[in-house]
Amino acid sequence: MQDLYLPSRHRDILQLAKDQGRVLVDDLAAHFKVTPQTIRKDLNDLCERRLLTRIHGGAVLPSGIGNMEYEARRKIAADEKDAIGKAAAALIPDNASLFINIGTTTEAVSKALLDHSGLMIITNNINVANRMRVYPAMEVVIAGGVVRGSDGGVVGEAAVDFIRQFKVDYAVIGASAIDHDGALLDFDFREVKVAQAIIANARHVILVSDSTKFERTAPVRIGHLSQVNSFITDRCAIERVRQICSENDVRLIEAFRPDG
């Protein structure tokens, strides 16, 4: 009901944020044919009402809403996620074994892996399994457990026990938020337990996460950035995060080039 009392442009901005996952100042200024300063004021007003949360260059739906709808999350930083997916796939050779965890960015990695051959993929992500199962060059193994209706993730103790049966070459994991102290965070304790088992049973852990995750928070700790081997993001402007990577021999790859 609160939306009904908003100015029409504010309602439109909020709807765009719901449709796309995030909104950017420059894009909104061009869309509404107003100045960036006007849009910044609009976003500030919406943030004061706690309808949006500011990020660098724009705003997103507030994490207080919870883990936002999966289709909306897919649309956040879609080009950046594609670039991250391609960079992660480039680290994984043919004939490797790997875990792929739940998440829209890990799904982008699975899409980029489709030209590989001889892969054994163990996943608790039904979307990944469904995409890769039709390729004869891939062997797909899916974890058992409770299927989360919101995103097709398989979670719970049965999934954890299943993951612990393997020791793989690579793991591809995501996070809902990354604190500037390097903490990797998520919303669902059951999902976190699966992610921790994946980290513990892979020789090389690849964290994939777009830069909007630096602006968000979540209540459950997966682990720490120092526990991964490679961190692939579109860009990392957080100096402390860069320092953590350097101090712990974590390979930091910034994948996104806006000009293609």
Q: Is the pLDDT of residue 67 over 60?
A: no
Give pLDDT tens digits for 114-156. 999 999 999 999 999 999 999 998 999 999 988 887 788 898 8
Return the minimum-mean-pLDDT range out of 36-45, 102-111, 170-179, 211-220: 211-220
Higher pLDDT, 79 or 2: 79
List the beta bridge partners of residue 221.
Answer: 185
From 148, 157, 185, 175, select the one nearest 231 (Cα to Cα): 175
- The two counts, helices (H) then strands (E), for the chain are 10, 15
Residues in Cβ contact with 189 at an 8 Å cutoff, skipping those fewer than 6 apart? 220
Q: What is the pLDDT of residue 64?
A: 46
pLDDT of 61 > 80? The answer is no
Instruction: Write b or e for each residue in 154-178: b if 16 or more Cβ atoms lie within 10 A of its Cβ, otherwise e.
Output: bbbeebbebbeebebbbbbbbbbbb
HSE toward the beta carbon, residue 201, CA cutoff 13 A: 22
Q: What pLDDT shows up at residue 65? A: 45
Give the confidence band of 6 by pLDDT, cuts at 50, 70, 90: confident
* Domains along the sequence of the chain with CATH: 2-61 (1.10.10.10), 73-254 (3.40.50.1360)
> What's this model's pTM, rounded to 2 decimal places?
0.75
Per-position DSSP letters for 106-136, written without gaps between them: HHHHHHHGGG--SEEEEESBHHHHHHHTT-T
Q: Which of 78-82, 93-97, 147-151, 250-254 has the lowest average pLDDT?
A: 147-151
Q: Residue 243: how many CB atoms within 10 A of its CB?
A: 11
Q: Is the pLDDT of residue 233 over 50?
A: yes
Percent with pLDDT over 90 in the chain: 62
Residues 149 and 190: their CA atoms lie apart, in Å, by 14
In this predicted structure, what is the pLDDT of residue 3? 53
Higher pLDDT, 225 or 56: 225
Chain centre distance of CA 178? 10
Q: Answer whether residue 32 shows pLDDT above 80.
A: yes
Q: Tokens 């050779």, residue?
A: 93
- Average pLDDT taken over every residue of the chain: 88
Min mean pLDDT across 39-43, 59-63, 234-238 is at 59-63
Q: Answer yes or no: is pLDDT of 210 > 80.
A: yes
Residue 71 buriedness (CB in 10 A; 0-12 / 13-18 / 19+): exposed
pLDDT average, residue stretch 62-87: 70
